[in-house]
Chain A
Amino acid sequence: MEKMKLKMLYSDLKSDIDVIEKELETALNSSSHMINDASLHLLQAGGKRIRPVFVLVSAKFGQYNIDQMKNIAVPLELIHMGSLVHDDVIDDSDMRRGRRTVKAQTNNRVAMYTGDFIFARALEYVTSIENPRVHQILARTMVEIVNGEVIQIEDKFRVDQNLKDYFRRIKRKTALLIESSCELGAVAAGVDPKNVRHLKQFGYYVGMSFQIVDDILDFVSTDRQLGKPAGSDLLHGNITLPIILLKDDPTIQRFIQRAEHGFVTEEERMAMLEVVRKSDAIKEAVKISNLYLKKAMKEVEALPNNPMKKKLRDIALFIGKRKF
């Protein structure tokens, strides 16, 4: 249902999204049938393709040309895919979006090769763009994403985290790639610098909201909706916004201690989920997400008149209200 809504939002970009999908398929084509199978599996898992969409929509504020934009949109989605494959090794995850992960289907080593293959394909693809600024932005983004993940590992099970720690982490983990999608689309399409800044900031705010909603959904969705056990973030030691807002709760504190030692039972997981779901932390987190959305909308206001302004607003709203 939610995916349908998203497709409706993209409907007038459908032919260009189809170009991206086809290009993704070509980019992932490998002489190794094992990498091919893994890549096909990733493609079939779908995903929201929000990064390519942000590239295309941002580019529509300048000289839009799908043949050029695909060379930005495809690598960004590939970088996202490659990092998911490696993240599943780090998180020891067997399921993602209701499907078995590459590492679960094969082993960690194959997942490493597959991720490296996908990253390399992304860079191979983006080199058709000569503008060095595009590469500088993308390279910085890739390095910062990894820095964010390093911090995430360092912060695992660390209960004395504050909001600033959390925002700093999710900025690098998620917001940066969405910010860069908007910025790169705009830069490649020759949008003027002032509007590039607005689009970049829009991407940042939407990215922050997107991750906060993701972190909320990890607690309020069912195992089936998530395709993995609800509360997985906390089971892995990732202290997200709802938990930071609830960190003094004794049930939560006990749960974190037990999760750190790998002693959590199914009853304890359910009890933890009940505490989080019944608390005000979820409402508070939604409020914070909405504040970011509001800021995103302000950036849209500052952009020149263009039919894509409505599209940006609609996608931002969808992201803020999504249920999957």
Chain B
Amino acid sequence: MDATYIQKNINQLKTNIFMHVRHRTLLQYTGEPVLNEEQLFYLLLPFFNGENWNDKMDKSIITVGIVHSSLSEHEKIHELDATSKEQQLTVLSGDYYSGRYYQILAESGNIPLIRKISEGIVHRCEQQVRVYENKSYTFRQWLESLTVIETALIKSFYTAYNFNQYLPIVENCLLLLRLNEEDKKHKNGETSPIYQLMVDSSVQHEEPFERLILREIDTLTTNLLDYLQTSTFLHDDLKQYIKQKVLFSQK
């Protein structure tokens, strides 16, 4: 298995997701759904690793991808002014995608996955709203929030199909990728609200934020590399692929 094969499968998954949520008006005003290829890769990870795979699982990862795009649409809503037609339709595109995921799983009778995904959405929303709460959280708690935001829905899929052994790697990788991305933006003066709160929370620590985050990134990278080195269930080519991805994101 090489990077081309992996990318081909990710592209196919993207196409399948687009096909299932195609809506003329929404497409015209809000564009194609937003999809994060890293998250799609981790949805496909058990498949790449040769786990028993079937049509039901194919459909399941399409729906998890749809839910990711539903919530991403709602992330595009401006805090104070959503009065433009594009913004109004963006609210509805998120709702439409959410209805479509439910419809697809209802048609195939996959009620357990509906339950798992719903639990994942609840958990993710509870973490996302923390940004607006009038309560201070520690640096560590913000890291936990970011982990949930990045992985809650993938976790729903893994739990539904007993792929829990992949969870530590996903949590580690997606948090690491997010921190690298946030850090780059921060250095370019485009700090996101959640990252700003992490910066603010670092005053409780003796170390400056820059050192704190660097140490966290280093620890996550070391843990991941150790995990990849010692894990016995993951194919070597996949280990190599993940390693390269993570190291590349730090450049």
Chain A interface (Cβ < 8 Å from any Cβ of B): 30-35, 83, 86, 89-90, 92, 106-110, 112-117, 119-121, 123-124, 127, 130, 132, 135-136, 138-140, 142-143, 145-147, 149-150, 153-154
Contact = CB atoms under 8 A, between A and B. Distances in A.
Given A34-B132, A112-B94, A120-B125, A89 B82 contact: yes
B106 A32 contact: no
Contacts of A114: 125, 129
What are the nearest 7 A-B pairs in CB distance?
A: A135-B106, A120-B121, A139-B103, A124-B118, A142-B99, A143-B99, A127-B115
Interface in B82-109: 82-83, 85, 88-89, 91-92, 94-96, 98-100, 102-103, 105-107, 109
Contacts, number: 145
A112 B77 contact: yes
Given A34-B129, A116-B71, A143-B103, A89 B122 contact: no
27 contacts: A32-B129, A34-B129, A34-B132, A86-B95, A90-B91, A108-B77, A110-B132, A112-B77, A115-B95, A116-B98, A116-B125, A120-B119, A120-B122, A123-B115, A124-B115, A127-B111, A127-B118, A130-B111, A132-B111, A135-B102, A135-B105, A140-B103, A142-B103, A143-B100, A146-B95, A150-B26, A153-B88
A8 to B, nearest CB: 35
Interface of B: 23, 25-26, 70-71, 74-75, 77-83, 85, 88-89, 91-92, 94-96, 98-100, 102-103, 105-107, 109, 111-112, 114-115, 117-119, 121-122, 125-126, 128-130, 132-133, 135
Contacts of A124: 115, 118-119, 122
A107 B126 contact: no
Given A112-B74, A124-B118, A90 B103 contact: no
Contacts of A138: 102, 106
A249 to B, nearest CB: 26
Contacts of A140: 103
Contacts of A121: 118, 122
A148 to B, nearest CB: 10
Nearest to A83: B95
A104 to B, nearest CB: 11
Given A32-B133, A120-B125, A135-B111, A90 B79 contact: no
For A31, A108, A136, A140, which residue has the most chain B Cβ atoms within 10 angstroms?
Answer: A108
A107 B132 contact: yes
A114 B88 CA distance: 17
Contacts of B118: 120-121, 123-124, 127
Contact of B79 (A34, A108, A147): A108
A30 B102 contact: no
A17 to B, nearest CB: 25
A113 to B, nearest CB: 5
A143 B85 contact: no
Given A139-B106, A142-B95, A153-B88, 5 more contacts: A92-B83, A108-B79, A113-B74, A116-B94, A132-B109
A153 B89 contact: yes
B118 to A, nearest CB: 4
A145 B89 CA distance: 13
Nearest to B130: A32
A316 to B, nearest CB: 28
Contacts of A116: 70-71, 74, 94, 98, 121, 125
